[in-house]
Structure 1
Amino acid sequence: MTVTTAPAAQRPRSLNDVKGWFPSLDQVLFDRFLTRQERLGQHGDLMEMGAYMGKSAIFTAAYLRANERFTVCDLFDADAPDEKNAAEARKSYSTLTRTAFEQNYLAFWDELPVVIQGPTSVVPDHVGADTCRFIHVDASHLYEHVAGDIGTAHSTLVPGGLVVLDDFRSEHTPGVAAATWEAVFTRGLRPICLTTQKLYGTWGDPEPIQDELLADEEWRKGMHTSVQEIAGRRVLRFSGKPANPTPPTSRYADEPRDPAREQRSAPTAPASVAAPSRRPTAVRRLAADVLPPVVTRAIRRRKR
């Protein structure tokens, strides 16, 4: 498939130029878990279900090793499989196209991932069981779809692999919360830690990872850590805005930005507020006329 080059004004100069929701805290955790897998020699592919404009996919691709595959599944601008899903796509992702994703991705990497354009229900037709070590689930917010995505993650992860579930606690995504906690209480998913947006979990043993995170005080600098307990099991909670790990570099990083575009996107300075008038009101003039001079002078001194 041929991908057209984006106009200069639309080329991402940095990861921050790519539209999407991928906070610095989650970038730090992605980096920690993916580098740990490399350090321990854990093999397997990477997968993302739901990619939007590619922000987290671009970041995750930096941890892809030789002979591994990175699979990205998204509807992009294809037809949704049902009306509820179609309504969600129209509301939240009306500007999303596969071309936009691919142009963003190729600004950072020479080759595209394996792209499945369609509903995440087709992922098992393309990704084998026990093949992935890290899966990011950020597709539909509808309970039925998320429950299916979690089931797909369970079957495609290698033993000890990690799954990241996005929007597990947002007020506008109760379906994700329902599917997530159902997986925890009835399907064997073991939470490792929570952030504002994401739950990190495994169907293996989370305690060795948790012990490492708690022991590394230098790594936890800049973030707040608390230890929770859910149904007798430890869960870590991280918050704050730690320094980002070094993001991938765009091939357009050194291109000059369009000054006119920068000026259009810059916040407009608020109009100056006129200083209140110092002219005496009718009430003040009347008071000056009828009150004794000593009272008038005291009032003026107090106002000054």
Structure 2
Amino acid sequence: MDQLARPALPFSGHDAVEAYLSDGYDRVVGMSSRFAAAICARLLRLQTEEGLKGPIAEIGAFEGRFFIALAHALEEGEIALALDIFSWPDPGVEQRFEANCDRHGIGPERRRTIKGDAGAMAPADLLAQADGDRLRFIHIDGEHSRVALGRDLALATACLAEGGLIVLDDMLHPGYPTLMVAVQAYLEANPDIVPLCIIDRETIVGATKFVLCQRTWFERYQTRLLDIFKDFVWPLGADFEPHWCLVLSQDTRLAEIV
């Protein structure tokens, strides 16, 4: 789709993120959407407004497209952790990741690159990379299997700060239909964690994301989201039986029933 014909994006809350999304995001190889990046950057701003601070992490940083957007949304002194095996599709991906970060303004002082399998990492080791601070935002975009997602979710939950958010990529993707099985099992085993919102897909490649939060923070976040993203709220929402949450979409129309 031509850039001029794209639907409007929500304001990310950060001038640096806006500049990157308008000129840079599409030039970094990756599969996440600009719509989701704008929303997640605004969620980071919302956390700051709510008094939350600290490091963030992405599991599955690849060449850095989404990671750079998140890192631009951090406050002074906060760091972003990039976890990846950095061997797919070839060993040069780590070098491309580092070059993309440098090219788009995320210098070594603002990021930490961790090469390895997140699923094999102990929570204490990940927290040590964050100087002992718990993570306020974790984006999971690692290996797309039920087992791997379950491990990544366990790691994220163990490292999550009070009020933190976990964002899951490629949910409801036609290429990975069993990921939802892992999510449902996780939610049933962790009743203190609930879906906060669904970020609708931009394309099949830029697929749906689920945003999870602690149950005690749900109403606090939802109240703000209803105001911040009022132009992007799909009216019917999402039914997780019995939990209900927002759906944020660029297309908020309802089906016509005649």
TM bin, normalised by shorter chain, reads 0.7 to 0.9
Does the 8 A contact of 1:141 with 1:175 survive in 2?
Answer: no
Does the 8 A contact of 1:24 with 1:241 survive in 2?
Answer: no
Report the AA paired with residue 121 of structure 2. Answer: V
2:212 to 192, 201, 221: 201
1:213 to 222, 225, 238: 225
Aligned-residue CA RMSD in angstroms?
2.2
Encode CA deviations 1:125-167: one digit per residue, 9 max, x unaligned.
Answer: 5322761000000011011111010001101011110000011
**Cα gap change, 1:96/1:26 in structure 2, threshold over 3 Å: closer, same or farther?**
farther
**TM superposition shift of 1:95:** 7.6
Does the 8 A contact of 1:131 with 1:158 survive in 2?
Answer: yes
Aligned length: 214
Alignment correspondent of 1:122: 121
Q: Greater CA deviation, 224-233 or 15-24?
A: 224-233
**TM superposition shift of 1:31:** 2.2
**TM superposition shift of 1:237:** 1.1
What percentage of residue pairs aligned between the two structures are identical? Answer: 24
Encode CA deviations 1:51-75: one digit per residue, 9 max, x unaligned.
Answer: 1110011101112223322111001
Partner secondary structure for residue 29 of structure 2 = coil
Q: 1:135-150 maps to which residues of 2 (within 5 A)? A: 135-150=138-153
Partner secondary structure for residue 116 of structure 1 = strand
Structure-2 separation of matches of 1:130 and 1:176: 29
**TM superposition shift of 1:178:** 1.7
**TM superposition shift of 1:210:** 1.4
Partner secondary structure for residue 236 of structure 2 = strand
**TM superposition shift of 1:32:** 2.0
Does the 8 A contact of 2:59 with 2:84 survive in 1?
Answer: yes
Structure-2 separation of matches of 1:96 and 1:241: 38
2:28 to 13, 18, 28: 18
2:103 to 107, 110, 129: 107
Q: Which structure 2 residue ranges, 5 or more long, are not aligned? A: 1-22, 202-207, 253-258
**TM superposition shift of 1:39:** 1.1
Encode CA deviations 1:54-109: one digit per residue, 9 max, x unaligned.
Answer: 001110111222332211100112xxxxxxxxxxx5xxx35861001111111012
- Rg comparison, structure with higher value: 1
Residue 162 (1) aligns with residue 165 (2): yes
Does the 8 A contact of 2:146 with 2:181 survive in 1?
Answer: yes
Partner secondary structure for residue 52 of structure 2 = coil
Report the AA paired with residue 20 of structure 1. Answer: G
1:192 to 174, 196, 202: 196
Does the 8 A contact of 1:225 with 1:238 survive in 2?
Answer: no
Structure-2 separation of matches of 1:50 and 1:123: 16
